[in-house]
Amino acid sequence: MPVSNRAKRLHTLARDLTKRFELPPDTVRAELDEYYRPAKWFLRWTDGPTVAQLTRAATEIDSEVLGEATLFRGYSDFVWALATLRLTMTTEELPPGEGYYPNDWDVRQWLEKRRAPAPRNKREQVLADRLAAICDDSISGRPSQDLIVDFVRENGVAPLLQAEGPGEAPMTPVEILTARYAANEARKTWKRRLAPMEALAAFLAVLADPEPESAVASAALALVPEVHRRIDAAAAGLQARVTD
């Protein structure tokens, strides 16, 4: 038997859940979907808490009417892009091997376990914004979230640093040199995780270039103090061996 005042109570529950989780107004919505026969009630929201978290809270507020609705959590393109970047750059929750990039299932499983993540820093926010903008589904007609995963699998993360898009993500001198000179495994780790070369290796790569560009030469000069420290430390270690 349907509960009394179902529609009113579901709308009230949606508002209470929005307040409980301190979400923007109307984030949690009670919606009657008449595509189904018979029509079905849904509690829908984007990002925010997990299904398990919202279910627990809803049970505390009005467990009876909760049984009348199906819960559905969607994801914004920004959060999907952020999750894709996190999974790609950390790899802890993926199968071993540098060649494995996250797929749609990996990203969804990662997000289902946690409340929607926030950027850890300005660079991560800029990279996620750019990735979401590049994969805007209005351009290709394909779902944005499919495009986000495909872009990272095909191109890695590094191209986002130099892509046009919102915000600024300035590169450090060693990153500029890594983008220009990294090869083999160093190229792979740079492309995937933005892992830069060692300062000395990057500096030597510039010296081996007969015609370095102006920006590259400037980046190399900025590394000179760090290179001196590395050489001095290495020389001290060698001197200790000679003394012994």
Both 67 and 46 in one domain: the answer is: yes
Q: Using the 8-state DSSP alphabet, how is residue 160 labeled? A: G
Both 165 and 178 in one domain: the answer is: no
| pLDDT band for position 98 (cuts 50, 70, 90) | low
- Per-residue model confidence (pLDDT) at position 1: 57
pLDDT cut 70: percent of the chain above it: 93
Both 149 and 95 in one domain: the answer is: yes
- Number of helices (H), then strands (E), in the chain: 12, 3
Q: How far is CA 104 from the centre of its chain?
A: 13
Gap between the Cα atoms of 196 and 74, Å rounded: 35
Contact (Cβ atoms closer than 8 angstroms) between residue 223 and residue 202: yes
Its domain, for residue 100, covers 76-170
- Say which CATH number the domain at 67 has: 3.30.300
Both 148 and 158 in one domain: the answer is: yes
- Per-residue model confidence (pLDDT) at position 92: 59
| pLDDT band for position 2 (cuts 50, 70, 90) | low
Gap between the Cα atoms of 127 and 169, Å rounded: 8
Domain assignment present for 1 = no
State phi, psi for 74 to the nearest 5 degrees: -105, 175
Residue 79's contacts (CB-CB under 8 Å, 6 or more residues apart) are: 47, 111, 116, 117
Assign residue 5 a region: left if phi > 0, alpha if psi is -120 to 50, beta otherwise? left
pTM of the full predicted structure? 0.86
Domain assignment present for 10 = yes
Residue 28's nearest CA partner among 16, 39, 38 is: 16
Q: What is the average pLDDT score of the chain?
A: 90
Domain assignment present for 66 = yes
Domain assignment present for 236 = yes
| pLDDT band for position 166 (cuts 50, 70, 90) | confident
Average pLDDT estimate for 65-88: 94
Both 70 and 138 in one domain: the answer is: no
- Per-residue model confidence (pLDDT) at position 48: 96
Give me the helices (H) in 46-143, please.
51-66, 77-90, 104-112, 122-134, 137-140
Domain assignment present for 49 = yes
Q: Count structural domains, the chain.
A: 3
Both 84 and 161 in one domain: the answer is: yes
Domain assignment present for 69 = yes
Both 158 and 177 in one domain: the answer is: no
